[in-house]
Amino acid sequence: MTRPYILISNDDGVDAPGLLALRDALATFADTLVVAPESQQSAGSHAITLHKPLRLKERAPGVLACSGTPADCVYVGLQHAVTRKPELVVSGINDGLNIADDITYSGTVAAAMEGHLMDVRSVAFSQDHRRPVALEAAAKVAAKVCQWVLAHHEALPPEALINVNLPADVREDTPWRLTRQGIREYHRQVREHRDPRGRPYYWIGGAQLGYREVPGTDGVAVHAGFVSITPLQLRMTCDPALDVMKRLGLDEA
């Protein structure tokens, strides 16, 4: 088999250690192209840039820094920078988990979503940020997961994109667990401060993060020391509501 071709991005920026470790691990079996944001874009979700130009800078052979968002990187990467259609889009390794409700805010997952929307199998990797982080082991596990996904691509439903979360102290032989998306418990905060001119400004987002203890979910698996692998889908229609609304006669008016 010829070497697979993998487009790599992230949301922590092109210089992030997680990206570099991932690239090195994937390069052991694949040809890689990195297109990643030139600056930190975490929690940027699936935004794309439509009202200002995007710039690409070559940082090294096969490594492009993009002035835009993670989704911009994958967009420009797949539609412009690749030399052929890749077998995979891989995002990460994010510095911090993307479990449960985090997925809706995540730029890491959004990069994989963009690859998925462009009909390329896509995988996102995120690791618990609590130091010390076993990044090299995480990258080796990520490479193994990517090889598994590539080997089973034909059998996997096309609508699945894969979200992987790794414990901070992951080892190469840490077992994998299939999981469902769980439920976060954020400690939401708004802190008000004053700028030097006396005007109020705000910081949002609390420091502590919890998750609901629902068996079989992503957060539970990672905190029990496993590699959590969750297949996600993007079609968002709420079928139960559709049924109820139909029953209530909404579309007969």
Cβ contact 164:127 at 8 Å: no
Residue with tokens 């596990």: 141
Which residue reads 């259609």 in tokens?
A: 85
Of the listed pieces 36-44, 83-91, 135-143, 201-209, which binds Mn ion according to CB under 5 A? 36-44
Burial class (CB in 10 A: 0-12, 13-18, 19+), 47: middle
Least distance (Å) from Mn ion to the CB of residue 13? Answer: 8
Q: Is 163 in the site for Mn ion (CB under 5 A)?
A: no
Q: Which of 8, 9, 11, 32 touches Mn ion by CB under 5 A?
A: 11
Give the nearest distance from C-beta 239 to Mn ion in angstroms: 32
Nearer to Mn ion, 11 or 87 (CB): 11
Give the angle 148-150-152 at the CA atoms, nearest 5°: 70
Choice between 11 and 128, CB closer to Mn ion:
11
For the bound state, the minimum distance from the C-beta of residue 42 to Mn ion, rounded and expressed in Å, comes to 3
Q: Which of 12, 87, 114, 128 binds Mn ion (CB under 5 A)?
A: 12
Between helix 135-151 and helix 17-26 the angle, nearest 10°, is: 50
Site residues (CB under 5 A) for Mn ion, limited to 217-246: none
The residue range among 8-16, 85-93, 220-228, 236-244 that interacts with Mn ion, by the rule CB under 5 A, is 8-16
**Residue span binding Mn ion (CB under 5 A) among the ranges 3-11, 26-34, 170-178, 218-226:** 3-11
Cis peptide before 196 (omega within 30 of 0): no
Size of site (CB under 5 A) for Mn ion: 4
CA pair distance 94, 98, nearest whole angstrom: 8
HSE toward the beta carbon, residue 5, CA cutoff 13 A: 11
By beta carbon distance, the residue nearest Mn ion is 42
Question: Mapped to the 3 state alphabet, what secondary structure does 193-248 carry?
Answer: EECCCCCEEEEECCCCEEECCCCCEHHHHHHCCCEEEEEECCCCCCHHHHHHHHHC
Q: Tokens for 214?
A: 């629902």
Candidates 9, 94, 163, 228; binder of Mn ion (CB under 5 A) is 94
Binding mask 40-69 toward Mn ion (x if CB under 5 A, else -) reads --x---------------------------
Stretch that binds Mn ion, among 37-45, 133-141, 162-170, 232-240 (CB under 5 A): 37-45
127 sits near Mn ion (criterion: CB under 5 A): no
The beta strand positions in 12-81, using DSSP E, are 31-37, 56-60, 63-66
Nearer to Mn ion, 11 or 114 (CB): 11
Q: Smallest distance from the beta carbon of 35 to Mn ion, in angstroms?
A: 16
Of 182, 168, 179, nearest to 103 (Cα)?
Answer: 182
Q: Which residues bind Mn ion (CB under 5 A)?
A: 11-12, 42, 94
